[in-house]
Amino acid sequence: MAKKDHIERHTADELRAKQARGESQSDWARAAAMSADEVESVIAEDNDEAGMIVDWAQASVELPQPKAVLNMRVDREVMDFFRSQGRGYQTKINAVLRSYVEQMRHHDKR
């Protein structure tokens, strides 16, 4: 994919402020007025979409596995650190453990 020199980055708060001010480079009225054929034509002209073929007949929905319930002992300092991060601390603990597992799997493949 070609590098795009016109990328702008904004925080979520900046985007909400722009939206509240009505600032947008998208012409939603024009997009809503386009026919399906016009949409397909615009997509076909987009270099980023070149060669992309999606076969929706073969698509499937993969539901995530439910999380396992685990009671474990950890150092108080570790628990205090994660709890000090606020809501979602258990999700963060899971992310740290997942990262470790992925690193170990990657290391084992060498």
pLDDT, tens digit, for every residue of 62-80? 888 898 999 999 999 999 9
Residues 6+ apart with CB under 8 A from 1: 48
All structural domains of the chain with their residue ranges = 76-108
Q: Are the C-beta atoms of residues 26 and 32 closer than 8 Å to each other?
A: no
Burial 19-34 (b: 16+ CB within 10 A, else e): eeeeeeeeeeeeeeee
- Whether the per-residue pLDDT at 11 is higher than 80: the answer is yes
Closest CA to 90 of 102, 106, 74: 74
Calculate mean pLDDT across residues 15-22.
86
Q: Say which residue, 106 or 51, is predicted with more confidence.
A: 106
Lowest mean pLDDT among 16-20, 30-34, 37-41, 53-57: 53-57
Question: What are the tokens at 35?
Answer: 């026919």
